[in-house]
Structure 1
Amino acid sequence: MIEEPPMLQIRAEIQRPSAIQIAAFKGVPTGFVCDAMEGQGALASEINHLGVGRDLPTHAVGPALVADNGPAEILATMGALHVAQKGDVIVSAVHGHRNCSAAGDQFCGMMKNKGVAGFVTDGEVRDYDGIVDAGLPVWCTGLSPNSPYSNGPGKVGFGAVVGGVQINSGDLIVADRNGVVVVPFARIDAVIALLEEVKALEAGLEEKVKSGFCDMAAIDAMLADGRAVTSD
């Protein structure tokens, strides 16, 4: 490398989903969103809701603001907090680094004060009780009391691979106690169009199951045409 990179790079303009697009995902289960994207879109299951449904709000929807920190770093997250808009979901990429917190209670409190809708990281956090007091929903890989550094280099407003999924700033994040789903910006309207069909299918099947339905017609068909066989 000829020159050292700057400590922090911040993207000046990010294209965000509209308020109408964001509202279409409010209260929608992540499973429905995945079903509208051919069963895909969720981050690795190691990234869980902090508290697993206890103590903190369990649903967050908003534009991703990606802070690409690197291992044991928080400088990019600091930059993201500085430029975040109300309703953003700050995504801290620490490249899966373990045994170091990506944020603590005071930082989560500042994000809450800024109007951030949620915090997602492929690393750990610390100060559980304080984060609960702050009231910011968090998705992470666990807890560690170790502190990060703020030396950089870091990037804000670009993209990163988090939990095995490429997240670009401006993509839509939908998160609940089941996990975190990324809707790429270019697919938001197409996914919204499919959500109503998914909701209708789910509602119809739920009603049937509550009424005692347990048939697997697809298996009967496979047995009938030879795609499945029975044996001793």
Structure 2
Amino acid sequence: MPTDTKPVESTVLDRLEQCSTSAIADTNHGSVTTLASAIESIHTDGTVAGPVRTVALDPAALSAPVQTLDTARKDEVVVVDAEDSTDEAIWGELLSTYATATDVRGMVTNGAVRDVSGIRDLGFPVFARAVTPRGPSGSEEAERNGQVTVGGALITPGDVLVGDDSGVVVIERAAVEDVTAAAEAIAETERDVDRLIGEGRSLEQAFEDAGM
């Protein structure tokens, strides 16, 4: 269970959404974990940052996490642990429509999803291990709001998850502000490199002049 439940300011989440997951990973901060590359954005421009609300499902009878979504709060990201089972989709367009209407920021799962075109049209950020048209066969959630392991990362409710086209990272709640500032500094350095290259520097010289 979370050890630090202090809410994350929306302004911090907005700043994180402006940082790439690459910049966050490059902070090499001990509180940052990168999820396995099998967890991918199901459509482009699916950037999201938000505190985590978790649910674990029974892989023998997967269910759509309706109850969890009903209790999710504004700005949260729903993380669904399906234990890497991808035979049945646990998320689709209808859940994405409801999540959008209730200001949930996104969803991440090690399971499968469906209705990709509808989710894309909504612009709702979804990251999953697979896509399948087959719906879930179960109706019960195994556990809500406990620690889960998704993409090889141990995720605790209240941690902050960030996802974009490059992948997904999770940040321990207590370190979110520090990691945000560090990632912003890395992004600024990268912009300096771009500028120096535009001014005619060699790549090596641009790196050196920017302090990389």
1:20–1:128 CA distance, 2 compared to 1 (3 A): closer
Shift of 1:147: 1.6
Q: Contact conserved, 1:66 with 1:169, CA < 8 A, in 2?
A: yes
Q: Which range is displaced more, 22-31 or 36-45?
A: 36-45
Shift of 1:30: 0.9
Q: 2:8 aligns with which of 4, 17, 29?
A: 17
1:153–1:109 CA distance, 2 compared to 1 (3 A): closer
Could you tell me the percent identity over the aligned residues? 25
Q: 2:89 aligns with which of 88, 92, 101?
A: 101
C-alpha distance in structure 2 between counterparts of 1:117 and 1:176, whole Å:
12
- Deviation sequence 1:129-183 (CA, Å, 0-9, x none): 2223333111112211122133435222222000011111111111111111111
C-alpha distance in structure 2 between counterparts of 1:108 and 1:193, whole Å:
31
Residue of structure 2 equivalent to 1:74: 63
TM-score (norm 1): 0.77
Superposed, 1:70-219 pairs within 5 Å as: 70-71=58-59, 72-74=61-63, 77-210=65-198, 211-215=200-204
1:150–1:110 CA distance, 2 compared to 1 (3 A): farther
Q: Contact conserved, 1:16 with 1:171, CA < 8 A, in 2?
A: no
Instruction: Determine which structure has more spread, i.e. the larger CA radius of gyration.
Output: 1
Q: Which range is displaced more, 112-121 or 66-75?
A: 66-75
Shift of 1:212: 4.5
Q: Secondary structure at the match of 2:53?
A: strand
Q: Which amino acid aligns with 1:50?
A: I
Residue of structure 2 equivalent to 1:47: 39
1:41–1:209 CA distance, 2 compared to 1 (3 A): farther
C-alpha distance in structure 1 between counterparts of 2:72 and 2:139, whole Å:
20
- Deviation sequence 1:165-223 (CA, Å, 0-9, x none): 1111111111111111111112112212322331232122222344352339x9xxxxx
Q: Which amino acid aligns with 1:143?
A: V
C-alpha distance in structure 1 between counterparts of 2:28 and 2:13, whole Å:
16
Q: Secondary structure at the match of 1:66?
A: strand
1:27–1:202 CA distance, 2 compared to 1 (3 A): same
Gaps of 5+ in 2: 208-212
Q: 2:18 aligns with which of 27, 35, 39?
A: 27
C-alpha distance in structure 2 between counterparts of 1:152 and 1:14, whole Å:
27
Shift of 1:125: 0.6
Which stretches of structure 1, 4 residues or more, deviate above 4 A after TM superposition? none
C-alpha distance in structure 2 between counterparts of 1:112 and 1:191, whole Å:
27
Pairs aligned (count): 202
TM-score (norm 2): 0.84
- Deviation sequence 1:21-71 (CA, Å, 0-9, x none): 3233131111111112349522111111112x1xxx421111111111131
Gaps of 5+ in 1: 1-10, 219-232
Q: Secondary structure at the match of 1:116?
A: coil
